[in-house]
Amino acid sequence: YGNNTFGGDNVAIRYRGIEHPFGNYWMWLDGINVNDAMTYTCNNPAYFAYDTATNYTYIGDKIQAEGWISKHMFSTNGDIIPVAVNGSESTYMCDYYWYNTGWRVAYVGGLFRDGSDAGLGCVAANLVSSDVYTFIGARLCYIPGLDW
């Protein structure tokens, strides 16, 4: 659906009105902080902050290893957290998880050039909050009536 021209690794996808649900960019996930394996979330944008658990809720532990995701934990708020990496490029989720110790920020997706290391379920928690890259961005969202 969308572009009728197929050119290998540079075709943009549109699904249910979402442009590029599978990527060609990495997306920062606001409201998620990871310290070692401990995962914290916050649903109130007024309290979004990095490298802290203050005003965040502990939702569980992520796996402390990198690899192909084979199992997720689902929180009551809809958070999807990788908890096992026993898969491969062709089994389970077929998406990769990157991990590092200390306070980390989460991002998802991937670039076309990342090939099998990218995807709708690909998750990374290996960068610190001060890292800056041109290939990591965010989706824009307009919420009517929301006063920032």
Kindly state whether residue 10 falls inside one of the protein's structural domains.
no
Assigned domain for 83 exists: yes
The parent domain of residue 133 ranges over: 25-137
**DSSP symbol at 134:** T
Does residue 37 sit within a domain? yes
Residue 80 counted as domain residue: yes
Whether 97 is in a domain gets the answer yes
Q: State how many domains the chain has.
A: 1
pLDDT tens-digit readout, 2-14: 444 444 555 666 7
Percent of the chain whose pLDDT exceeds 70: 81
In a domain, 147, yes or no: no
145 belongs to a structural domain: no
Tens-place pLDDT, residues 117-131: 777 788 889 999 999
Rounded distance between C-alpha atoms, residue 58 and residue 107, angstroms: 18
Decide if 103 contacts 33 (C-beta within 8 A).
yes
User: pLDDT per residue over 84-120, tens digit each?
Assistant: 999 998 999 888 898 899 999 988 888 877 777 777 7
Q: Rounded to an integer, what distance in angstroms lies between the CA atom of residue 82 and that of residue 73?
A: 6
pLDDT at 3: 44
Report pLDDT digits (tens) over 41-82: 999 989 999 999 999 999 888 888 899 999 988 877 777 888
Give the three-class secondary structure for 38.
strand
d(CA 19, CA 16): 8
